[in-house]
Amino acid sequence: MDLTMFMQQMVNGFSLGSMYALIAIGYTMVYGVLRLINFAHGDIMMVGGFLGYFGIVVLDLPFGAAVLLAIVGSALLGMASDRIAYRPLRSAPKISLLITAIGVSFFLENAFNVFFGGVPKAFPVPAYLENVVDIVGLTMPVSAIIVPIITAFLLAIILWVLYKTKYGMAIRALAFDVGTVNLMGIDANRIITLVFGMGSALAAVGGIFWAVNYPSVEPMMGVLVGLKAFAAAVVGGIGSVGGAVLGGLIIGFTEVVVIAFFPELGGYKDAFAFIFLILILLFKPTGILGIDFEKSRF
Amino acid sequence: MRKLAVLATSVALLASSSFAKEISVGVTMSMSGPLAAYGQTAYEGIEFANSLQPKLKNGDTVKLVLIDTKGDKVESANATTRLISSDKVVGIIGELTSTNTAQVMAIAEKKQIPVISPVATNDKLTEQKEFANRVCFTDSFQGAVVANYAAKDLKLKTAVVVVDQAQVYSLGLAKAFTDAFTKAGGKIVKEIKVSSGDKDFKAVVSQIKAANPDFMFLPMYHPEVSMIARQAKQIGLTKPMFSGDGVANQTFIDLGGEAVEGYMFTDFFDYSAPPTQRSKDFIAAYAKKTGKQEMNSFVALGADSYNVMVDAMNRCANPEDSICINKEIKSTTNFEGVSGVLTLDKTGNSTRSAVIKVVQNGKAVYKATVNP
């Protein structure tokens, strides 16, 4: 394999990994504050993709406005899912929450299936994102460059919110101890709503990226991506935002590398994400950048 | 007790001869899920054929009972059991993909209920099965058609094959193609395996570009192929691409956009070259109902599955006798169908022609007919 080919694959892996990372951040933040693996998160991403589609095709909005619609709509949906499905179960055993999350996931998939049908819809990608650029012998669409840049930008915002703002402090405090936070006069429910909103907004961006890179939207598109992003969050260390990004990149690179070096194993590339998951759980259950939740939070 | 049973049976027989009744035919299709485009078009054909010919010649009405398999093989198996045990169907039309059809056929075989698959092409499906039938051609025929066309007509010498290892259809067609292409003097320079459900094929297309073949053969279904075509174009890979009937639908072209211009594939039928009088009538009636001239080949194959089933039922003294229906399906000879002239033999396979199409200006255009 020559250097150009190798670099080309690295670009591919970086672009794919960034998308997993965006979605993994939502898993990790919700887990951090609620100890809930929100299995509906991948479906929020699907809704984000669909909202973008509706913005462009039905409402005839410019691409940027459609993205904004997807972000706001998904954030509201994420917050609503918490208000309706999870908040009534705050004091219930964790397993009830998990089952509810699976229920929310099935509900979203089937509702979209009923209303919009299962046939994939072609996503209208703006021409400037599909343009192919040639950088030192590497050919790639503009979107392959933009995705990691926007991911890095959004990650910076998330880290700034978590570590430099009052709300971020409240989120971190909540991850530490819910009971005490309430005693301190912080409305825990409001903060949890905020976390759902932020995570879902990122998932929407991930959904739009997904729809731009693989130009179609369909109700089941979030299932496998959601599972892999979940694996990414655990591999990186669930509860850690940096870990989610690292885990996303690892999973993305692994997929690409498997095909590049072992084409005959390409059909099993999904298995590698989960092999990582199992190995990590066996040898370092807290993940690479993981946090031991018994000792410290975030 | 036995007397009572005999009495009941004779009353039932008497009733059946004097009053027209409803006979249920089951349909198992992926109406939702990633392969919904297939199920919805094939069912459109079945339903339309049913509306044209709703009654048997003895006056009984044929009622369709549809169950959505969501493109899943477990759901396909469940649907078949339900159709046979609770809906009491006399025969089943479906499924569409070979993997799912294998499930349907395995269960129906045990219950002795005939199955007609509209488009499941894997060679092994009907092997050692008495109740398995199809109106489409098999992969060994289809693979040879592609291989010979590429090697002899287009003079292409080297190929990369991309296989979807999660689909029986893909594995079977890839093998049939490889055998035929090698025999015709071609060479497979690389075989790459992928899995259905994948969206990211950038690593795959980069590999193909490096291998630099004369053309690519992608024996897969449209969701994956459309992505491969798009991502190939993005890295400037412009070699000819060929697929089997797995991409024979408009959704493929919608998803692929400009990237699938010039794409070639084998299909069963083309509406612009109707092979029989029945196809001409069917297309005209279809155009009148839907307002559009063009008709997907899956519509025609769906209609023919229904037509062959009804034709067999008509030839049985008791149209509810599944064993007789199966026997009659297997003796269908030179049947004038919508998709062409069909002959089914004891193996349940049909002998029929194939067409080759090419995508031009966002439409699949007829290129050639290949007879067996």
Of A156-165, A276-285, B116-125, B269-278, the range with the lowest mean pLDDT is A276-285
Q: Render B213-235 in DSSP notation, one character per residue.
A: -SEEE--S-HHHHHHHHHHHHHT
Tell if the CB–CB gap between B227 and A214 is shorter than 8 Å: yes
DSSP H stretches of helix in chain A: 3-34, 41-57, 63-81, 94-116, 127-130, 142-164, 166-176, 178-183, 188-213, 221-236, 241-261, 269-283
Summarised one tens digit per residue, pLDDT across range B47-100 is 999 999 999 999 999 999 999 998 888 999 999 999 999 999 999 998 999 999
> Does the beta carbon of A210 lie under 8 angstroms from any beta carbon of chain B?
yes
Q: Would you state the pLDDT for residue B10?
A: 58
Q: Which amino acid is at A227?
A: L
CB-based burial label for B329 (10 Å; 0-12, 13-18, 19+): buried
- 3-state class of A159 per DSSP? helix
Tell me the pLDDT band of B8, cut-offs 50, 70 and 90. Answer: low
> Does the beta carbon of B203 lie under 8 angstroms from any beta carbon of chain A?
yes
Of B164, B227, B235, the CB nearest to A139: B235
Is residue B210 scored above 60 in pLDDT? yes
Rounded percentage of chain B residues whose pLDDT exceeds 70 = 95
Query: Nearest 10 degrees: CA dihedral of B31, B311, B327, B94?
Result: -10
What would the two tokens of residue A228 be? Answer: 């892999």
What is the SS3 string spanning B281-317?
Answer: HHHHHHHHHHCCCCCCHHHHHHHHHHHHHHHHHHCCC
Q: Would you state the pLDDT for residue A203?
A: 95
d(CA B362, CA B364): 7
More confident residue, B1 or A185: A185
> Does the beta carbon of B65 lie under 8 angstroms from any beta carbon of chain A?
no
Place of tokens 């998951």: A277
Pairing of strands B363-370, B241-243: unpaired
Tell if the CB–CB gap between B70 and A268 is shorter than 8 Å: no
Which whole number is the average pLDDT over B209-217?
A: 93
d(CA A267, CA B166): 8
Q: Would you state the pLDDT for residue A270?
A: 80
> Does the beta carbon of B129 lie under 8 angstroms from any beta carbon of chain A?
no
* Chain B partners within 8 Å of A216 (Cβ): 223, 226-227, 255
Q: Quick one: which of B158, B169, B192 has its CA closest to B96?
A: B169
d(CA A291, CA A239): 7
Residue B61 distance to chain A (closest CA, Å): 30
Tell if the CB–CB gap between A263 and B200 is shorter than 8 Å: no
Could you tell me the pTM of the whole model?
0.78
Q: Would you state the pLDDT for residue B198?
A: 81
d(CA B160, CA B188): 6
Residue B55 distance to chain A (closest CA, Å): 31
> Does the beta carbon of B72 lie under 8 angstroms from any beta carbon of chain A?
no
Q: Which of A2, A216, A220 to mutate to test the interface with B (most CBs of B within 10 A)?
A: A216
Contacts 24+ apart (CB under 8 A), B359-364: B359/B253, B359/B256, B359/B260, B359/B261, B359/B262, B359/B263, B359/B264, B360/B261, B360/B262, B361/B261, B362/B253, B362/B261, B363/B253, B363/B294, B364/B248, B364/B250, B364/B253, B364/B265, B364/B267, B364/B270
* Chain A partners within 8 Å of B238 (Cβ): none
* Chain B partners within 8 Å of A13 (Cβ): 203
Is residue B188 scored above 80 in pLDDT? yes
Tell me the pLDDT band of B15, cut-offs 50, 70 and 90. Answer: low
Q: Would you state the pLDDT for residue A257?
A: 83
Asked if residues B33 and A118 have their Cβ atoms less than 8 Å apart, the reply is yes
What would the two tokens of residue A243 be? Answer: 């870990």
d(CA A90, CA A71): 26
* Chain A partners within 8 Å of B247 (Cβ): none
Of A128-132, B139-143, B223-227, the range with the lowest mean pLDDT is A128-132
Q: DSSP letter for B91, please.
A: E
| Segment-wise mean pLDDT, segments of 10 residues, chain A, 298 residues | 77 89 92 88 96 94 94 96 93 90 94 86 86 78 86 92 92 83 86 94 94 89 91 88 91 85 76 83 84 56
* Chain B partners within 8 Å of A224 (Cβ): 197
Rounded percentage of chain B residues whose pLDDT exceeds 90 = 71
Chain A nearest-CA residue for B38 = A119
- 3-state class of B37 per DSSP? helix
First to last CA, chain B: 57
Question: Looking at the predicted complex, does its ipTM rise above 0.85?
Answer: no
Of B32, B191, B204, the CB nearest to A118: B32
Residue A188 distance to chain B (closest CA, Å): 39
